[in-house]
Amino acid sequence: MALTKNLSVYFVIAVTYLAAAQAATFNITNSCNYTVWAAAKPGGGIRLDPDQTWTLNVSSGTSGARIWGRTNCTFDSAGNGTCLTGDCNGVLECDSFGTAPNTIVEYALNQYNNLDFYDVSVVDGFNIPLSFTPLTNNCTRSVNCTADINGECPSQLKAPGGCNNPCTVFKTNQYCCTNNTCGPTDYSNFFKTRCPDVYTYPKDCVSGTFTCPGGTDYSLVFCP
């Protein structure tokens, strides 16, 4: 009995220690001259006025994760409200992904060979320019989408506060890739020309996914 209890205490300590040792930190900074409501799943969300930083810790092994920004939000004191772009079911602390248009950072930690995988995606449209940069482990491959996508957005894709992806607007297989075979289009090329390192359509297999050793920390800057 006592032995079992002791072992489980050691196990909890060991697991806690490993998780702490391998957790990744994301420094998320708003360099825009307007307020951004940063959002993360997992992680929640927070209001970032210009020059504010949110330090987000994420456990090792996290996958299928996203970080994005929301604009023109209003929330009540309970954290219920709405955002013009990137809204996540009307709550300040997101527990679901955002709605298009939103520029997205996607990542998975400690995957194959203990590598982190990350990319920037405009497959759900674009709202805020951003850059994503590894900070530690000698990992240096920064990715960004900082062109004036909103200003140059094709008229059919224009949305309040951003530039939609064509799937959101036209809902056809060609753009949404529901049959799993689709190629680049004039619309995806609009994004690709301006942001060559990012995912621009559902089956885009650019050299758009990057890796770092597990345990790397990262920085995300809105309006770098």
Ligand X SMILES: *[C@@H]1O[C@H](CO)[C@@H](O)[C@H](O)[C@H]1NC(C)=O
Minimum CB separation from ligand X for residue 7, in Å?
27
Site for ligand X in 89-108 (CB under 6 A): none
- How far apart are CB 4 and ligand X at their closest, in Å? 31
* Token pair recorded at residue 55: 């330090």
Options 6, 8, 16, 57; binder of ligand X; rule CB under 6 A: 57
**By the 8 A CB rule, do 218 and 144 touch?**
no
Which of these, 205, 196, 124, lies nearest to 166 by C-alpha position? 124
Instruction: Name residues whose C-beta falls within 8 Å of residue 93's C-beta, 6 or more positions apart in sequence.
Output: 44, 45, 46, 79
Question: Of 122-151, which residues contact ligand X (CB under 6 A)?
Answer: 131, 135, 137-138, 142, 144, 146
Looking at the DSSP assignment, which residues form a beta bridge with residue 158?
A: 163
In Å, what is the CA distance from 150 to each residue of 44, 130, 193, 221? 26, 13, 14, 18
Under the criterion CB under 6 A, does residue 155 sit at the interface with ligand X?
no
| 164 forms part of the interface with ligand X (CB under 6 A) | no
Interacting residues toward ligand X by CB under 6 A: 25, 27, 33-34, 53, 55, 57, 71-72, 76, 78, 80, 84, 131, 135, 137-138, 142, 144, 146, 160-161, 173-174, 179, 181-182, 197, 217, 224
